[in-house]
Amino acid sequence: MSAEAEAERKTETIPEWKREEVGDIVAFLERYESIGIVDVAGIPSRQLQDMRRELHGSAALRVSRNTLMERALEEVDDGLEDLTEHIDGQVGLIGTNENPFGLYQQLEESKTPAPINAGEVAPNEIVIPEGDTGVDPGPFVGELQSVGANARIEGGSIKVVEDSAVLDAGEAVSRDLANVLSELGIEPKEVGLDLRSVFSDGVLFAPEELEIDVEDYIADVKSAAAAARNLSLNAEYPTAETVPAMLAKAAGQAKSVGISAAVESPDLADDLVSKADSQMRALAASIDDEEALPEELRGVEAAPAAEPTEEEADAEADADADEEEASEEPTDESDAETDADTDEEDGDGGDALGDMFG
């Protein structure tokens, strides 16, 4: 019998309800951009329904027989068949049109603490913390000691005198330990949907690939953007992000050269007058014999350094921010800005000369 004939024979033997279920699952898979496999083992039915409600609006959960989910994934193909290797045990399908990284974070944040039962494997080290148990003196102190907790009776109650590790991760929980943890209200495990894998945009993601610190990731992106901007400025490579800062820097340097060379220009007239006024004040202030000065210059003090203009201040602030975010090492740009600032400080003075002579 040929392979096609064999496949047709098997299809004919599939009950109608299974065909309908596979069809519904296929429709579910085609509805979402990202499809994942989640572990639902050990989650009570009521909590599972609560989780469905919490996911509403951002993701949807579909639970069915493993064989039917595998058949639906293979029927859709498009790479989704790779998810079949993760279908084992009690699992379900989860679909979302949002970022798979966001889905992973949402599922992790939705997990809640839960008590652990006898026979279950500890997901991590179980520790009974130091402190008053709130239990009256009695047989319970012996139960605590029997599971490895350092406990004794003090002040009319049972106290654990130090943090006590009572079980290593991966070990099975005994009935006595389960009872002690239940009495103390310690819930050492988390209940939630464990993501096994997600297929999105042609890529199969493992859970560890989706486990990122969003804040650190954003900080890294900002740092990289700042470093790229600083490199562009230093290399004088124009981009939409750097042209304004480059023009401001060039304008500042051109102005500094013009003032230093005393270039006659309407744009520099005020600055040249301010520079002359500043130099005149400095000269007058350095002469001890006031009789040697004109009356209007007697008692004149050296003009204070002028504040930078708003445009110059903005350009300098942008440059400083770039350097701080991108690198702690000094750059050619920062040296050029320092030279430009020094030149401008030497050249600026104020409007005192105009005020003095009208």
Residues 33 and 155 in one domain: no
Task: Please give the radius of gyration of the chain, using alpha carbons only, rounded to the nearest integer.
Answer: 38
Residues 231 and 317 in one domain: yes
Residues 181 and 221 in one domain: no
- Work out the pLDDT band at 197, boundaries 50, 70, 90: very high
Q: Say which CATH number the domain at 24 has.
A: 3.30.70.1730
Whether 265 maps to a domain, the answer reads: yes
Does residue 95 contact residue 34 with C-beta atoms inside 8 Å?
yes
Residues 276 and 328 in one domain: yes
What range does the domain containing 312 cover?
216-357
Q: Say which CATH number the domain at 161 has.
A: 3.90.105.20
Q: How many of the other CB atoms lie within 10 Å of CB of 257? A: 12
Whether 117 maps to a domain, the answer reads: no
pLDDT in tens, 207-224: 999 988 878 889 999 999
Residues 104 and 173 in one domain: no
Q: Given the structure tokens 């102005």, which residue do they identify? A: 255
Number of domains in the chain: 3
Whether 333 maps to a domain, the answer reads: yes
Residues 207 and 343 in one domain: no
Three state DSSP letters for 1-22: CCHHHHHHHHHHCCCHHHHHHH
Residues 145 and 293 in one domain: no
What kind and span of H or E run contains 93? strand 91-96
Residue 249 CA, distance from chain mean position: 33
Residues 259 and 352 in one domain: yes
Residues 240 and 334 in one domain: yes
pLDDT in tens, 157-168: 999 999 999 999
CA angle at 93 for the pair 188 and 102, rounded to the nearest 5° = 70
pLDDT in tens, 243-285: 999 899 888 888 888 888 888 888 888 888 888 888 877 877 7
Residues 203 and 247 in one domain: no
Query: What predicted TM-score, i.e. pTM, was given to this entire model?
Result: 0.53
Could you tell me the two tokens for 328? 């702690």
Q: Which residues contact 169 (CB under 8 A, 6 or more apart)?
A: 122, 123, 124, 125
Q: Return the bridge partners of 160, or none.
A: 131, 151
Compute the distance between CA of residue 28 and CA of residue 62 in angstroms, rounded to an integer.
Answer: 8
Does residue 34 contact residue 90 with C-beta atoms inside 8 Å?
no
Residues 49 and 146 in one domain: no
DSSP string computed for 191-206: ES-EEEEEEETTEEE-
Q: Which residues contact 251 (CB under 8 A, 6 or more apart)?
A: 311
Residues 177 and 278 in one domain: no
Burial string for 258-294 (b: 16+ CB within 10 Å, else e) reads bbeeeeeeeebeebbbbbebbbbbeebeeeeeeeeee
pLDDT in tens, 317-353: 555 555 454 444 444 444 444 444 444 444 444 443 3
